[in-house]
Amino acid sequence: MTTVKKYNFTYEDIHSTIRDASLAIKEADYQPDYLLAIGGGGLIPARIMRTFITRPILTVALSRYSDEIGTAPADTPIKLQWLEGKVNLNGKKVLVIDEVDDQRTTLDFTLNELIEHYPDTEFSAFVVHNKLKEKKGQLPEKLNHFFIGRDINDYWINYAWDAEDIATFGQ
Ligand SMILES: O=P(O)(O)OC[C@H]1O[C@H](OP(=O)(O)OP(=O)(O)O)[C@H](O)[C@@H]1O
C-alpha cells in the first residue's frame, strides 16, 4: 500500500509561520497600507497577519471551479467577489495574502487583474506556504515583493480549518 504524503498544518503551525513572516516583512522595511485576502483560503491568514501588521483587511473571493460543488475546474479562476470602488488605492501599498501557492494559477490571475485595474497601486504578495514545484502561472514583473512563510514539498495539505473534528486533527 502506498502512503500519500501529506502535511497537517494546525492553527498553531500557521500562526507561528505568519508571525515569523511578519517579522521578516517588517525587517525588510516593507509597510503595506492594506492587507488583501484572497478568499477563502487567505481569509484566516490575513486576520492572523493583522495581529502583527496592523492594517485594514480587504477581500476578494475566487474559485478555481466553475460550479458551486467544486467538481468542474475552470481554465481561469472565477471571480466570486471583487473589490468595490469605494476604497482609493491610488499610491497605496497592498499586500495580497493567500494560504498556499500551488500551481500559481490563482496568484497569476489575481495579481495581474489587480495590477491592470489599479495601475497606480503597488502590489506585493504573501503566501503562508509555497509548494516547491514547476508552476503553471507566473508572478507579474510589477510585483513589488513576494514573501513566503514556508517553502514546502508538493504534498497534499490538510489545513486545520478543513477539519470536521478539530479535536483529532492531525492524529
Ligand atoms: O496556486 P494554485 O494552483 O492556483 O492553488 C492555490 C489556490 O487554490 C486554493 O483555492 P481554491 O480556489 O481551491 O479555493 P479556496 O481558497 O476557497 O479554498 C487556495 O486557496 C489558493 O487560492
Segment 21-77, tens digit of pLDDT:
999 999 999 999 999 999 999 999 999 999 999 999 999 998 887 777 777 777 788
One of 102, 108, 120, 151 is an active-site residue; which one?
A: 102
To the nearest whole percent, how much of the chain has pLDDT over 70?
98
Range list of β-strands (E), the chain: 6-9, 34-39, 57-65, 73-81, 93-101, 122-131, 146-152, 156-159
State residue 148's pLDDT score: 98
How far, in Å, is the centroid of ligand 1 from the Cα of 169?
21
Q: In a mutational test of the pocket of ligand 1, which residue from 14, 59, 68, 102 has the highest number of ligand atoms less than 8 Å from its CB?
A: 102
Q: In a mutational test of the pocket of ligand 1, which residue from 105, 106, 109 has the highest number of ligand atoms less than 8 Å from its CB?
A: 106
pTM for the whole structure: 0.94
**Residue 32: what are its φ and ψ, rounded to 5°?**
-70, 155
Residues 6+ apart with CB under 8 A from 148: 21, 101, 126, 127, 129, 130
The residues spanned by each domain of the chain are 7-164
User: Does the beta carbon of 99 lie inside 6 Å of ligand 1?
Assistant: yes
DSSP state of 90: T
State residue 63's pLDDT score: 85
CATH class held by domain 7-164 = alpha beta
Residues 59 and 12: their CA atoms lie apart, in Å, by: 23
**Can you name the residues that pair with 36 across neighbouring β-strands?**
58, 96
- Classify residue 72 as exposed, middle or buried by CB count within 10 Å of its CB (0-12, 13-18, 19+): exposed
Give Rg (Cα) of the chain. Answer: 16
How far, in Å, is the centroid of ligand 1 from the Cα of 56?
22
- Say whether 102 is catalytic: yes
How far, in Å, is the centroid of ligand 1 from the Cα of 147?
17
Q: What ipTM was predicted for this assembly?
A: 0.95
In this structure, are residues 158 and 13 in contact, taking their beta carbons and an 8 Å threshold? no
User: Does the beta carbon of 38 lie inside 6 Å of ligand 1?
Assistant: yes
User: Does the beta carbon of 103 lie inside 6 Å of ligand 1?
Assistant: yes
